[in-house]
């Protein structure tokens, strides 16, 4: 066993915990069975969930026994949010999301070996409880006064719409999960984000009241970004772990674009490099931040964890090729398609673009220049490129040979200078 608690503290991964000394002793003494829960409120996990998945992975690698709960029951209810009531999803939709999320979890936790992860569904026990039994056996141990004091509940009570009894009762359901997992599997530790602290301690308190014993809870800090924007969000929306919802290229770019003020913090949380190696990266990064060594390490590590080594190689090759350091035609069509999908110009309907279009018109249509006149000046100055080939003729047109296969559609890459990229979907 390693002193995993000290490791987690060194990585700034422990915001809150129950009796810290007792928890550290338990983790050092031998295998601890622990759990983390995920509610299927969407078809995929996202960046915030990844913090908890990797936290669980660290505990498993240290010799502890993970249980991953996918909330087939609590996912039908939804944890209260500050912004208001959730829309309840149909049962068959939630069931489908349960299976998708289970498959995602299995990519991060080892399901074989002496500390194999177990996946459980709280619908298996919650669905069997009658209303009377739930109120008598579980509900009587919860103080309404304490439930009202929970930050989210208190905020919702002050809002115009209040909070439904359904969402108010969520913390009882989650508390019962911990009690049931303690009874079935001997689980004595639950972890989650610090915004879940009220739910985490509710379960520990329920076990203390019912079973007359103490169990543990740990909470990670909420991830924040130095620029004030929400972690795990981009201009195009949430960063998902599902490649169909967030392409591997866009995923890697999220990390490559990490703020200099955030990148070392993110490396501690999301990378499995040793603290000694991270310290060395930090020193090199501080000496030459323009080289972005920390961002590259972060993007490579996390993209590999989520999407695998081969896909990571492909998206990094695409990033180089887009800026002229690689061969565009050699890229996998799907990778090229995802790499160009959010560039300026891709929103222009393909029907408005065709082979034979003047290059100056194409640059103007993409939006990377303000006008055809500006495009012509860029060509004259030697700063205009089509598929990384410099344009020298002001009368040059887009030809069918310029159209690259981008996985189901054609695309032409446009670049002004070294860094200003655009792309047009082209009718072939």
The two three-digit tokens of residue 32, written as one number: 């601890």
Whole-angstrom distance, CA of residue 203 vs CA of residue 278: 36
Q: Which residues are annotated as a binding site for ATP?
A: 233
Per the prediction, the chain carries an average pLDDT of 93
Q: Which CATH architecture has domain 224-307?
A: Orthogonal Bundle (1.10)
pLDDT at residue 1 tops 60: no
H helices of 106-234, where?
123-126, 131-133, 144-149, 151-157, 165-168, 170-185, 197-211
Angle CA 423–318–294, to nearest 5? 115
- 340-349 pLDDT, tens per residue? 888 888 877 7
CB-facing half-sphere around the CA of 94: CA atoms within 13 A: 21
- 148-157 pLDDT, tens per residue? 988 889 999 9
Whole-angstrom distance, CA of residue 138 vs CA of residue 349: 58
Q: Which residues are annotated as a binding site for L-tyrosine?
A: 35, 170, 174
| Residues above pLDDT 90, as percent of the chain | 75
Contacts of 36 (CB under 8 A, 6+ apart): 52, 53, 55, 56, 66, 67, 68, 69, 190, 191, 192
Angle CA 219–220–223, to nearest 5? 145
Q: Where are the beta strands (DSSP E) in 210-315?
A: 216-220, 233-234, 237-238
CATH 3.40.50.300 for domain 327-427: no
Q: Which residues are annotated as a binding site?
A: 35, 170, 174, 233
The two three-digit tokens of residue 149, written as one number: 């004091």
pTM exceeding the 0.85 threshold for the entire prediction: yes
Residue 324 gets the label, from left (phi > 0), alpha (psi -120 to 50) or beta, of: left
Q: What residue spans define the domains of the chain? A: 4-222, 224-307, 327-427
Same topology, domains 4-222 and 224-307? Answer is: no
Closest CA to 363 of 427, 419, 412: 412
Please say whether the beta carbons of 82 and 250 come within 8 A: no
- 260-311 pLDDT, tens per residue? 999 999 999 999 999 999 999 999 999 999 999 999 999 999 999 999 999 9
Q: Which of the listed CATH numbers 3.90.1300.10, 3.40.50.620, 3.20.20.140, 3.40.50.2000 matches domain 4-222?
A: 3.40.50.620
Q: According to the model, what pLDDT value does residue 428 have?
A: 60
Mean pLDDT confidence for 401-414: 88
Q: Which pLDDT band holds residue 207 (cuts at 50, 70, 90)?
A: very high
């Amino acid at each position: 066993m390693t002193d995993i608690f000290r490791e987690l503290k060194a990585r700034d991964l422990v915001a809150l915990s129950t009796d810290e000394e007792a928890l550290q002793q338990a983790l050092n003494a031998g295998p601890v069975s622990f759990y983390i829960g995920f509610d299927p409120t969407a078809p995929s996990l996202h960046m915030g969930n990844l913090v908890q998945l990797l936290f669980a992975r660290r505990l498993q690698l240290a010799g502890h026994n993970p249980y991953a709960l996918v909330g087939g029951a609590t996912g039908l209810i939804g944890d209260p949010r500050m912004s208001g009531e959730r829309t309840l999803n149909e049962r068959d939709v939630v069931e489908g999301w349960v299976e998708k999320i289970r498959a995602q979890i299995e990519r991060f936790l080892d399901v074989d070996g002496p500390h194999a992860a177990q996946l459980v569904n709280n619908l298996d026990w919650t669905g069997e409880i009658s209303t009377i039994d739930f109120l008598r056996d579980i509900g009587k141990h919860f103080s309404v006064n304490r439930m009202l004091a929970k930050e989210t509940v208190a905020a919702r009570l002050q809002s115009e719409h209040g909070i439904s009894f359904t969402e108010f009762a969520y913390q009882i359901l989650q508390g019962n999960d911990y009690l049931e997992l303690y009874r079935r599997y001997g689980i004595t530790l639950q972890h989650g984000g610090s915004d879940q602290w009220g739910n985490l301690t509710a379960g520990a308190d329920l076990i203390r009241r019912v079973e007359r014993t103490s169990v543990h809870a740990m909470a990670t800090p909420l991830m924040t970004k130095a620029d004030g924007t929400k972690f795990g969000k981009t201009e195009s929306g949430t960063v998902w772990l599902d490649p169909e919802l967030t392409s591997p290229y866009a995923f890697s770019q999220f990390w490559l674009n990490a703020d200099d003020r955030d990148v070392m913090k993110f490396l501690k949380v999301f990378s499995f490099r040793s603290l000694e190696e991270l310290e060395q990266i930090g020193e090199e990064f501080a000496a030459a931040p323009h080289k972005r060594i920390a961002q590259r390490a972060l993007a490579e590590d996390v993209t590999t964890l989520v999407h695998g080594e081969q896909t990571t190689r492909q998206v990094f090759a695409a990033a180089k090729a887009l800026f002229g350091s690689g061969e565009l035609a050699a890229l996998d069509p799907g990778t090229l398609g995802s790499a160009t999908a959010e560039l300026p110009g891709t929103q222009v309907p393909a029907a408005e673009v065709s082979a034979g279009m003047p290059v100056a018109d194409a640059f103007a249509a993409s939006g990377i220049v303000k006008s055809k006149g500006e495009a012509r000046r860029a060509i004259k100055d030697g700063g205009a490129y089509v598929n990384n080939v410099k344009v020298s003729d002001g009368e040059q047109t887009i030809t069918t040979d310029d159209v690259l296969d981008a996985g189901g559609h054609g695309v032409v890459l446009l670049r002004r200078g070294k860094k200003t990229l655009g792309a047009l979907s082209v009718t072939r």
